């Protein structure tokens, strides 16, 4: 296997780092928002879950691209 493909796969997998950081920030801000306005917890949580799903999707896409690059 060519080294360039392995380096590319490594960069593709690193998209999971961005997703993890984004989810961590979103979780902190969500708990802050709920503590400030507990009556709006339902709306806040639904938006939170949508944001987490989008962030996780980018990590999964990066993982799939890495697998496709390695398998070639």
Instruction: Convert the pLDDT of each residue in 5-22 to its tens digit.
Output: 889 888 888 888 988 999
- Mean of pLDDT values over 16-35: 93
Say what the pLDDT of residue 1 is.
67
* Distant-in-sequence, close-in-space partners of 51: CB < 8 Å, separation ≥ 6: 22, 26
Nearest to residue 26, comparing CAs of 6, 10, 49?
A: 49
Res. 24: pLDDT tops 90: yes
* pLDDT band (50, 70, 90) for residue 34: very high
Secondary structure (3-state) at 17: helix
Secondary structure (3-state) at 55: helix
- Mean of pLDDT values over 35-41: 95
What distances in angstroms separate CA 51 from CA 1, 11, 45, 66, 67, one per listed residue? Answer: 37, 23, 10, 23, 25
- Architecture of domain 3-71 in CATH? Up-down Bundle (1.20)
Res. 72: pLDDT tops 80: no
Spatial separation of the C-alpha atoms in residues 5 and 7, rounded to whole Å: 5
């Amino acid at each position: 296997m060519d080294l360039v493909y392995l380096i590319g796969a490594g960069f593709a997998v690193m998209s999971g780092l961005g997703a993890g950081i984004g989810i961590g920030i979103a979780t902190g801000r969500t708990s802050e928002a709920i503590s400030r306005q507990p009556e709006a917890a339902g709306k806040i949580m639904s938006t939170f879950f949508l944001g987490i799903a989008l962030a996780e999707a980018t990590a999964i896409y990066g993982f799939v691209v890495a697998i496709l690059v390695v398998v070639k």
